[in-house]
Amino acid sequence: MNKTLKAGLIERIKREIDPSLLIVPQTTPVVFFGDYVKANVCTVSINPSFNEFLSGSTLLSGASARLCSRAELGIDKENHRKLTDDEAEKVLEGCINYFKKNPYKKWFDPFDDLIKRLSNGKYSYYNDTCVHLDLAQWATNKIWTYLSEGVQGKHLSNDKDTFKLLLDGNNFETMFLNGSTVLKSVCASLGVSLVEEKTSERFGEKKMPLNVFHGEYVNENSHKIKIVGWNLYLQYNVKDSADIDRFSRTIKGV
């Protein structure tokens, strides 16, 4: 990781907690999940789940912890101060080692299965060839769709530069966009346009049609990152391996 990129990530991680943004108390920003430097492709979703830090209402700790929380750093719950450089380094290390600890498999394993199928087994979170990025990097105490538009907008605006920094700092082969909210937000953030391909395949309880999107993003290194996205939020619309296989075959087929 080059010095400029790391310095930018450390400054992002150090940011104090803004209570108006409904951030889960005593948590830290997740700038990425996995080994960013080694990854060849990335997946993109909206923001970290509160389950990354909580079990029910209890903060995960010790061997159960998935990431480095403020509690792990010894910071009191009511203290929203900026982190020090040393504290931010520990948080960054926790992001890098995420899949070697206690990943939230209920969310990540369906995505990993899909990415492996789309790449013929080449890419996976668990072999450091795929890293996950979020457009907003704080875990919130409400699911994203239940946040007000104002709070959503602040999160996206605050983390827009960090997201772009991550895309410019790694010449990814492909980025995979999960769901319509992410598709719209990435297009707005990066100024890209995507081609939509409609399909007849339907998924989930509501039997919604899966539409596939393609395009590219040219980063500051003049490197073209292929974009592949879909309108349905994967984790809410597949129930088993057969669904994921059909999902992947549909994407590959357009």
Per-position pLDDT tens, the chain of length 254: 889 999 999 999 999 999 999 999 999 999 999 999 999 999 999 999 999 999 999 999 999 999 999 999 999 988 899 999 999 999 999 999 999 999 999 999 999 999 999 999 999 999 999 999 999 999 999 999 999 999 999 999 999 999 999 999 999 999 999 999 999 999 999 999 999 999 999 999 999 999 999 999 999 999 999 999 999 999 999 999 999 999 999 999 98
DSSP secondary structure string for all residues of the chain: --HHHHHHHHHHHHPPP-GGG-BPTT----S-BS-TTT-SEEEEESS--GGGTEETTEEP-GGG-SS--TTTTT--TT--PPPPHHHHHHHHHHHHTGGGS---HHHHHHHHHHHHHHTTT---GGGTSEEEEESS-S-BSS-GGGS-HHHHHHHHHHHHHHHHHHHHSS--SEEEEESHHHHHHHHHHHT---EEEEEEEEETTTTEEEEEEEEEEE-TTSPEEEEEEESS-HHHH--SHHHHHHHHHHHHT-
| Residues recorded for the chain | 254
The confidence score (pLDDT) of residue 77 equals 85
- The Cα 97–Cα 67 span in angstroms is 8
Residue 207's CB: how many other CB atoms inside 10 A? 9
Residue identified by tokens 């129930």 is 239
Separation CA 248–CA 55 (nearest Å): 31
* pLDDT given for residue 147 in this prediction: 97
Position 249 scores a pLDDT of 97
Gap between the Cα atoms of 194 and 229, Å rounded: 9
Closest CA to 10 of 98, 89, 113, 123: 89
Q: What per-residue confidence (pLDDT) applies to 99?
A: 98
Q: Are the CB atoms for 156 and 66 separated by under 8 Å?
A: no
Residue 25 is predicted with a pLDDT of: 93
